[in-house]
Chain A
Amino acid sequence: RRMRYYISYGALSANRIPCPP
């Protein structure tokens, strides 16, 4: 089967507001 691509939540977390200190 062709590999189905996903944008992982790991990649998305680069856009996340940083966790509080």
Chain B
Amino acid sequence: GCSENFEFKNYTIITSQCKGPHYPADRCCAAFKEFACPYAELLNDLTNDCASTMFSYINLYGKYPPGLFASECREGKQGLACP
């Protein structure tokens, strides 16, 4: 399970910045990081299902194509750097 409840987070951080029809990678990834970095430790711990739960809600609220963030967001070898 996931100790963080992702159901009622403020997804407008992402949905206001990352929009169709082209879903620009720079805007979508920056907004994704802004939303997700506070939960980085939880998300990186793959023994819980926080990451998949979070992405389900992000895709639901933003009507995003499946796989959008995983396919568009690339940075260094450790992953996406948080501020």
A and B touch in the complex (CB under 8 A): yes
Flag whether B11 is at the interface (Cβ < 8 A). Answer: no
Contact B66 A12 (CB under 8 A): no
- Tell me how many residue pairs across A and B have CB atoms closer than 8 Å: 70
Of the four ranges (under 10, 10 to 19, 20 to 34, 35 or more), the interface on chain A belongs to 10 to 19
Pick from A4, A8, A16, A17: contact of B44, CB under 8 Å: A8
Contact B70 A5 (CB under 8 A): no
When distances are taken between beta carbons in the complex, the residues of chain B under 8 Å from A6 are 40, 44, 76, 78-82
Given contacts A7-B40, A14-B43, 10 further A-B contacts (CB under 8 A): A4-B81, A5-B41, A11-B43, A11-B46, A11-B79, A12-B69, A14-B54, A15-B55, A15-B66, A17-B67
Q: List chain A positions with a Cβ less than 8 A from chain B.
A: 4-17
